[in-house]
């Protein structure tokens, strides 16, 4: 057994919480092992004044960590699974996917509390095209303002930029103990989550069998199967942060999986939404099949117009 592990992490409060959570689990399981955290700055952390959709999407938060893993500088990295591209660099794999916490999106509006109570033309901050499109579908009158930065930065901007509301992931707020900021968890018929939202991904080298064996206990198989379907859906649609897609899968009994998904135009006017069920052992195929069906039923036209624009 290895004597030490080096965990790579971004330096934001949430990323550090996630890395420390995994480190604590490892220390409890392997009390004689030395666990070290190495903070790193990613491209996504450096560029805060440009919408993610214009600078490349998900890989912006993982690339530097993956380079460090491949060079042997770190042994593993802890990510929010929703930040990970569907294709990983050659030589790296998802060693474990942790049990999912609430995958929902939180509305934070101290004055108005809920989406339906926001005034006409209310200013709502979000950095996500997925959230923007679904919000505009429900409330076409809203003025959506781009909002970048870490969770604490975005919470401050709610006040400093005089926004009526902002949207953040429920999971991140709960992990940091900031539940009191949540005024509404948006129902999934209004806002489906991002792929993998609420789950942590632990990435490691494919050939590092010792580390993979050490991490295996952290894997939560129902969450892994559900997010496998979601990531397969996204890969088939060939989407990323720059395409308004929501998808959520859950194990409904030990052998069955249900997947809900939506493809939208950025203005929320064009919508394709469907649900599919299948065997948990065929999670990836279920996600791909649903994606193909939705593309054939109008999704392809939505994406074609998006690419034209």
- Helix (H) or strand (E) segment spanning residue 305: helix 300-308
Residue by residue, DSSP assigns 18-62 as HHHHHHHHHHHH-TTSEEEEEEE--HHHH--SS-HHHHTSGGGGT
Encoding tokens for residue 70?
């491949």
Q: Roughly what angle, to the nearest 10 degrees, separates helices 13-29 and 151-160?
A: 150
Catalytic pick from 32, 45, 75, 83?
A: 83
Rounded CA separation 246/169 (Å): 13
Q: Is 4 helix (H, G, I), strand (E, B) or coil?
A: strand
Encoding tokens for residue 128?
């996500």
User: Catalytic: 83?
Assistant: yes
Rounded CA separation 65/78 (Å): 9
Angle CA(63)–CA(67)–CA(70) in degrees, nearest 5? Answer: 135
Rounded CA separation 99/291 (Å): 25
Catalytic residues: 83
């Amino acid at each position: 057994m290895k004597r030490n592990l080096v965990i790579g992490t971004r330096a934001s409060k949430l990323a550090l919480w996630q890395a420390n959570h995994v480190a604590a689990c490892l220390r409890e399981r392997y009390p004689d092992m030395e666990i070290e955290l190495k903070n790193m700055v990613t491209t996504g952390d450096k560029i805060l004044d440009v919408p993610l959709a214009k600078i490349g999407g998900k890989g912006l938060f993982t690339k530097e960590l993956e380079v460090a893993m491949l060079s042997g500088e770190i042994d593993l990295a802890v990510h929010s699974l929703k930040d990970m591209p569907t294709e990983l660099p050659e030589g790296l794999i998802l060693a474990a996917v942790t049990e999912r916490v609430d995958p929902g999106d939180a509305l934070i509006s101290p004055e108005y509390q809920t989406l339906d109570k926001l005034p006409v033309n209310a200013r709502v901050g979000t950095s996500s095209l997925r959230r923007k499109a679904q919000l505009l579908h429900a409330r076409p009158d809203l003025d959506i303002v781009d909002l970048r930065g870490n969770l604490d930065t975005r919470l401050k901007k709610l006040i400093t930029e005089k926004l009526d509301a902002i949207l953040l992931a429920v999971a991140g707020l709960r992990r940091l103990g900031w539940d009191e900021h949540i005024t509404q968890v948006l129902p999934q018929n209004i806002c489906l989550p991002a792929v993998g939202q609420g789950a942590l991904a632990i990435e490691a080298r494919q050939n590092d069998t010792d580390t993979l064996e050490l991490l295996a206990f952290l894997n939560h198989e129902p969450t892994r199967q559900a997010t496998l379907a979601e990531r397969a859906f996204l890969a088939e649609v060939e989407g990323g942060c720059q395409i308004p897609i929501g998808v959520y899968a859950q194990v409904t009994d030990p052998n069955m999986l249900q997947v809900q998904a939506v493809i939208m135009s950025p203005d929320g006017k064009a919508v394709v939404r469907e649900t599919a069920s299948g065997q948990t052992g065929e999670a990836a195929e279920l996600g791909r099949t649903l994606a193909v069906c939705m593309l054939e039923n109008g999704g392809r036209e939505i994406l074609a117009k998006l690419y034209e624009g």
